[in-house]
Amino acid sequence: MGAALDLRQTFVNPNLICLEPFQVRKAGNAQSIGDEIMRQLTLTATLALATAFAGPASADDELRAYANELFDPIPLTTPDLPNNIVTRPRVDLGAMLFFDPRMSRSGLFSCQTCHNVGLGGVDGLETSIGHGWQAGPRNSPTVYNAVFNIAQFWDGRAADLAAQAVGPVQAGVEMNNTPERVLDTLNSMQEYVDAFAEAFPGQEDPVTFQNFALAIEAFEATLTTPNSRFDQFLNGADSLSEQEISGLNAFIDQGCAACHAGVNMGGQDYYPFGLVERPGASVLPEGDRGRFQVTETAADDYVFRAGPLRNIELTAPYFHSGVVWSLEEAVAVMGVSQLGADLTEAEVTDIAAFLRTLTGEIPEVVHPVLPPSTDATPLPEPM
């Protein structure tokens, strides 16, 4: 893999310091969720006693120390990928493929359509619209910081970003294309052929569907949002207001961090939606059984990957069903369904205020100039 490569200079201010690699805390099944909550409540009680005797001057420092046990700042450099090499030519090619609607059968839809980098990495719809103007079954997750998730999609059916990249291209409800047609499109334009050769040097035939996926993965790995006000707080700055500090305390005290921890504040494991009390059918549609559809294991019925909370204020509507548009309402729903807690209005407001501190520096992504089609380029097909 080689040393970590800082590729953010094309997109954001490069004059930043490096942080230590992230670590993700896992919870596991319902029993370990309970154990994690009890562990946190015990530590919270210890923290409360310590701060009571230490006085208000050290309360924030104690909270910061405890928060650093649960959460990690987003690194300022592009993370290494286990099965890929992040290089400038590969990232540039991936950006072209990410934005090119000709990767879809209709010539209308691209990765950018559902993961708009100017809109928090989402499309702002309850569920995404694809080929034939069909509505997809789930809300589109953000592409920002997706590299830190344990797996991709709400049900975790893709192990990494490369595996995720090939799914929507072939899905009939999304881009409705085939690997063969994608390769015909790419090979019809010499600029793409040359770009693949540069991104995958030494390969006899670099224009492959696997390399298509690896290039998109390399680009998406650069889409991280470091230096949020919460990350600044973790690193020692007094960057949170009194209300946001109260929200962080409530977030920990109520047990939210049992599922939403680590570098991405979630995305690190799978949990039943409705652990304590099932939400209404609009929030948890009866027919969408989550990870069960991947594993066919009874224990995974209505289990979903915990939603990452980074940049949460930018990614409404919320949940896999996409029916909740208010962050405060989403907090209240989670309190009842996951924690069995009827949060007060003040607690909901404070937690939502804290969650808004998770918005990081959004990279300035420049739309690439794409190669012109040729007479050999497959024509877009009507929907």
Instruction: Report the alpha-carbon distance of residue 167 to residue 146 in Å, rounded.
Output: 15
Q: Which DSSP state fits 13?
A: -
Phi, psi of 343 (to 5 degrees): -65, 145
Identify the CA nearest to 14 among candidates 69, 67, 82, 76.
76
Identify the CA nearest to 122 among candidates 112, 109, 135, 133.
112
Respond yes or no: is residue 296 known to be catalytic.
no
Residue type, 370: L
Q: Which DSSP state fits 78?
A: P
Instruction: Report the alpha-carbon distance of residue 26 to residue 366 in Å, rounded.
Output: 35
Sign of CA pseudo-dihedral 319, 325, 328, 333: negative
Choosing from 174, 217, 244, 347, the catalytic residue is: 174
What the block records as the tokens of 377 is: 């380029």
**Owner of token pair 């007060």:** 344
Strand partners, 309: none
Identify the CA nearest to 211 among candidates 188, 190, 195.
195
Instruction: Report the alpha-carbon distance of residue 159 to residue 232 in Å, rounded.
Output: 31
Number of helices followed by number of strands (H, E) in the chain: 13, 2
Annotated catalytic residues are 174
